[in-house]
Amino acid sequence: MHFVCNFWQGSAKNMARVKLTISYLGTNYCGWQSQTNGDAIQDRVEQALSNYFGGEFVRVYGAGRTDVGVHAQGQVAHFNVDKPVNPFKLCLGVNLSLPSDIAVVDAQIVGDDFDARFSAQHKTYVYKLYVSPIRNPLLDVDHTQVYKPLDVDKMQQCANMLVGTHDFCAFQKTGSNLKGTVRTINSFNVQVQPNGAIWLVVDGNAFLYNQVRIMAGLLVQVGLGKFGLEQVEQMLNGTKLTFKTLPAKGLTLQKVFY
198 bridge partner residues = 129, 192
Distances (CA, A) of 228 to 157, 158, 222: 10, 9, 6
DSSP secondary structure string for all residues of 178-189: -S--EEEEEEEE
Q: Are the C-beta atoms of residues 207 and 66 closer than 8 Å to each other?
A: no
Q: Are the C-beta atoms of residues 19 and 107 closer than 8 Å to each other?
A: yes
State which residues of the chain have pLDDT below 70: 1-14, 175-178
Q: Angle at CA 223, nearest 5°, toward 211 and 226? A: 90
In this predicted structure, what is the pLDDT of residue 13?
47
Q: Are the C-beta atoms of residues 52 and 94 closer than 8 Å to each other?
A: yes
What's the whole-number average pLDDT of the chain? 93
Assess whether 203 carries a catalytic annotation: no
In this predicted structure, what is the pLDDT of residue 177?
58
Q: Are the C-beta atoms of residues 110 and 78 closer than 8 Å to each other?
A: yes
In this predicted structure, what is the pLDDT of residue 175?
57
202 bridge partner residues = 125, 188
Q: Which ranges constitute the DSSP H helices of the chain? A: 41-52, 87-96, 137-140, 152-162, 211-223, 229-236
In this predicted structure, what is the pLDDT of residue 173?
85
CA gap 87, 31 in Å, rounded: 25
Q: Which residues contact 117 (CB under 8 A, 6 or more apart)?
A: 61, 62, 63, 64
Q: Are the C-beta atoms of residues 135 and 154 closer than 8 Å to each other?
A: no
Q: Which one of 3.40.50.300, 3.30.365.10, 3.30.70.660, 3.40.190.10 gives the CATH number of domain 122-257?
A: 3.30.70.660
Region(s) of the chain under CATH 3.30.70.660: 122-257
Region(s) of the chain under CATH 3.30.70.580: 7-110
Question: Which CATH code fits 7-110?
Answer: 3.30.70.580
Q: 43, 67, 101, 140: which is the annotated catalytic residue?
A: 67
